[in-house]
Amino acid sequence: MSGSRIVDLSLSIESEMPHFAGTPPVYIAQSHRLDDEGYRMCTVLLGNHAGTHLDAPSHFLADGATVENVDLDRCVGEAHVLDLTHKVPLAPITVADVLAAGAGTDPGQRLLLRTDWDLRFGEPAYFTDFPPLAPETARWFADHDVKLVGLDIPSLHQTAFVELHEVMLGAGIAIIESLANLRSLTQEQVFLSAAPLKLAGADGAPVRAVAIESRES
């Protein structure tokens, strides 16, 4: 990795971190201690969509693949960062927005949508007032064979999330939600690593997403 810069794009998973209503809270507690056992270990309990995470097709599709069967080629590789920081709360992200931000039309793109909404993490509005994807945008991603869409918002849409997930997951698109720190990237083109934990039979899993920038660019 000589000559490269690694940028963490993940939320920290912490006990009692904010989470969607109706989903399990996060619990992290020390189970073994240096003074007792001579080493440290923790017990970790969390929902599989806590923090930065990948939605597997089975999250919304009856016959969809579970997370251990997601094609990792979709989650690792060159990605394009789209600056959408002009979007105000609740303003839909349109096809015109993503095209103006630099999305191409060739198949196989990995797109990272930057709104800086992660700055609201910890506020109640984080889960309710984010700028959602317009339904037309989800269909555009599907029609153009996009490999991955990563977003720094907690879901695709406040009310139409089932429809949008069905469209995108049905097209095989890897969806990464609750990214963070996209504003720290200095290049529009980065190498993304966002592989999920290999949780057999699960409909999603946490991701430690990182971007690698070349210092020579």
Name which of 186, 123, 175 is nearest 152 in CA terms. 175
Mean local confidence (pLDDT), 55-83: 99
Question: Is pLDDT of 216 > 70?
Answer: no
Question: Is pLDDT of 217 > 50?
Answer: no
Annotated catalytic residue, options 49, 59, 80, 165 = 59
- C-alpha distances out from residue 10 to 45, 164, 217, Å: 18, 23, 24
For 142, which DSSP code? H
Residues with Cβ < 8 Å from 41, sequence gap 6 or more? 30, 31, 32
Question: Is pLDDT of 215 > 90?
Answer: no
Supply angle C-alpha 125, 140, 8, rounded to 5.
Answer: 50
Sign of the torsion angle spanned by Cα atoms 146, 148, 150, 153? positive
The pLDDT value given to residue 2: 65
Mean pLDDT of the chain: 97
Q: Which amino acid is at 31?
A: S
59 is catalytic: yes
What is this structure's pTM? Answer: 0.95
Condensed to tens digits (0 to 9), the pLDDT of residues 158-195 reads 999 999 999 999 999 999 999 999 999 999 999 999 99
Residues with Cβ < 8 Å from 190, sequence gap 6 or more? 7, 78, 79, 81, 112, 211, 212, 213
Mean local confidence (pLDDT), 27-34: 97
Q: What CATH topology corresponds to 4-214?
A: Glucose Oxidase; domain 1 (3.50.30)
Alpha helices in the chain (DSSP H): 95-100, 135-143, 161-170
The pLDDT value given to residue 102: 98
In angstroms, the CA 194 to CA 29 distance is 26
* Number of neighbouring beta carbons within 10 Å of residue 42: 11
For 168, which DSSP code? H
In angstroms, the CA 161 to CA 60 distance is 10
The pLDDT value given to residue 90: 99
In angstroms, the CA 96 to CA 114 distance is 15
The pLDDT value given to residue 3: 79
In angstroms, the CA 67 to CA 206 distance is 10
